[in-house]
Amino acid sequence: MTDIAEEKAKAKLNLTLDICGVREDGYHLLRSVMQTIDLHDDIILERRDAGIVLELKCEGNEASGHDTIPAGDDNLVCRAAKLMLERYGSGGVKITLVKRIPAAAGMGGGSADAAAVLRGMNRLYDMELSDTKLCDMGVKLGADVPFCIMGGTRICEGIGEVMTELPPLEKIALVYAKPAVDVPTGKIYKMYDEAGAETTHPDNEGICRLIKRGNVTAEELAGYLKNVFEPLAVALHPEIGKIKELLKESGAEGTLMTGSGPTVFGLFKDETKAYEAVKKIGELTGKIYAGTSFMA
């Protein structure tokens, strides 16, 4: 049994996002090709005799939304630790969380952190739980947690718990940019329910065939990017559409809003242009949190 466990909590992007129906309990059924990227938070877990202590360290400007992250028991990492300790039956943990992934951004930051805690606690206390068991526990915390436990490139269905692994994508450069606006998840789902019949849907079969073929370029992948929530979010916040335009003007092969927003990402075949795009965004406005990353 180790005394310290460290984990990287990697951000995710939705390369596609579709709604396929609604369960009897009101949960929407999703179909989404999801991808982890290099951008990550750090999780450091230290065994204690009892209790859960969270130390939160944030990196990023005001637009990152880090100032809205709860530091107490409401934080998803504390809930994940509690779930694991209840299963183990005793013990405690000190959690140091270094935040880089922007909050409330559609990039799965909280889910990635919870997933990292589940993986790390599994090692910290030698619980020997399988990935399947960790995913079963993770879905109780959030729909994206099972994917964040596994990572890579996967098509996720159901409420996110049904996953099919796809071959890893090439290391494609990307830029992510989050405007300082909120897109309430409940509101965007309600808007979709009211306008869903008029929505065009992603070609999930096509993108899966492309990824299975291998050697996928940014230009090829860009042709399949589609999120049914994006036009609704742009209607709520035109800033999202402006970021898409700015990324295209800066050389992005394609752009898309990830999750329920508001973060937009652009795929670049030229790494230099990706770095230049972030610089350009920074010069135009200080109200956007932007950076570069790669598929991971």
The residues annotated with a catalytic role in the active site are 12, 144
The distance of Cα 263 from the centroid of its chain, to the nearest Å, equals: 10
Tokens in use for 131? 């990935």
Q: β-strand 264-268 against 254-257: which pairing, if any?
A: antiparallel
Token pair recorded at residue 112: 């990635």
Bridge partners of 226? 16
Give 56's contacts (C-beta < 8 A, 6+ positions apart). Answer: 69, 71, 75, 97, 99
296 contact partners, CB below 8 Å, separation of at least 6: 10, 36, 37, 38, 151
- E strand residue ranges, 15-116: 16-22, 28-48, 50-58, 91-99
Locate the DSSP E strands across the chain.
4-14, 16-22, 28-48, 50-58, 91-99, 153-158, 162-165, 173-179, 226-227, 254-257, 264-268, 288-294
DSSP 295: B
